[in-house]
Amino acid sequence: MANGKPVVILGVFVADTAYRADRQPRLGETILGNSFKLGPGGKGSNQAVAAGKLGADITFLTRLGVDAFADMAKQTWKGAGVKSAVIDTPDSYTGAAYIFIEEGSGNNAIIVSPGAAMLISPADIEAHARLIRSAGVFVTQLEQPIDAALKALEIARGAGVTTILNPAPAATLPDSIYALCDYVTPNETEAEGLTGIKVSSIDDARRAADSLLAKGAGAVIVTLGENGALLHTKSRSEHVGAVNAGPVVETTGAGDAFNGGLAAALAKGVEPLEAVRFACAVAGISVTRPGTAPSMPTLKEVEALLAQA
């Protein structure tokens, strides 16, 4: 599988600071935690790492502060073969997330402070228009400001680049955004947020996808967790089962693994249904490992799993 056309991803990097404790402290109270972990996060960054580890020619576009977390971001990308177009923002800070995990239940509570990434503007996108136009596949999500995502999708669409919008975290979108998207990739919750249709079955996913096609999306891929994914267009609707790679350890980052895998496959000219199957395998391996970026598999691992399946 050759590297294929370039992939450009616009998104945010945040440093994930994860604390495990028996319970959350009350205001004014200090308690002892059981463990702490610092790691790379942010949907766009995770997707770029996934694509990079799969051998894609990938550039990640974002803003970072000038600080230790920015150094961590650059190290993470370098290790995964990701090129970066970073706008250094010394008067802000690199994003970070506070993640509290309740030891007994595994439930979490999260505060995300995106920092410099919240300053990504349409003007930043214009300044990197040549990079976006040079891509075969362009991907963005909704962690940076929506007007920046919209401008980037417009530039990509104008240049005939294949566009993927991963509408996460769920947000209210202008209807004009859908016509700029070759693929919209919500999970069940996001699909419900965008359409008002509760997705608890594959038929529900089809109805929600129809609603997004009616708004102008080229194709909709609803990711269904352990039930795989649905590829839905005006002319076809195909359910792709999950690809089991072993016992599930942690599902955080599975959506990012899927989107990074999808972009890498489409950039290599893989037919959409096969690209979805490939992306399901990438996500299938990622959930058997802890962490988000560190759990992303290599191309060799994905090909081996698909050959078995």
Q: What is the DSSP letter of 9?
A: E
Q: Which residues of the chain have pLDDT under 70?
A: 1-3
The answer to whether the beta carbons of residues 283 and 265 sit under 8 Å apart is: no
**How many Cβ atoms sit within 10 Å of the Cβ of residue 45?**
30
Question: According to the model, what pLDDT value does residue 235 have?
Answer: 97
Summary count for the chain: helices (H), strands (E): 10, 13
Amino acid, single-letter form, for residue 196:
G
C-alpha to C-alpha distance for 104 and 102, rounded to whole angstroms: 6
Task: Say which CATH topology domain 7-12+43-93+117-308 has.
Answer: UDP-N-acetylmuramoyl-L-alanine:D-glutamate ligase (3.40.1190)
pTM reported for the whole predicted model: 0.95
Q: What is the per-residue pLDDT for 130?
A: 98
| Residues 296, 76 contacting (CB under 8 angstroms) | no
pLDDT in tens, 227-279: 999 999 999 999 999 999 999 988 888 999 999 999 999 999 999 999 999 99
Q: Active-site residues: which are they? A: 256
CB 218 within 8 A of CB 183: yes
Measure Cα distances from 132 to 47, 108, 158 in Å. 16, 36, 10
Other C-beta atoms within 10 Å of 200: how many? 9
Alpha helix locations (H) across 92-181? 122-127, 129-133, 146-158
Per-residue confidence (pLDDT) for residue 3, from 0 to 100: 65
Is-contact 254 261, C-beta < 8 A? Answer: no
What are the residue boundaries of the structural domains of the chain, listed by start? 7-12+43-93+117-308
pLDDT for the residue numbered 249: 86
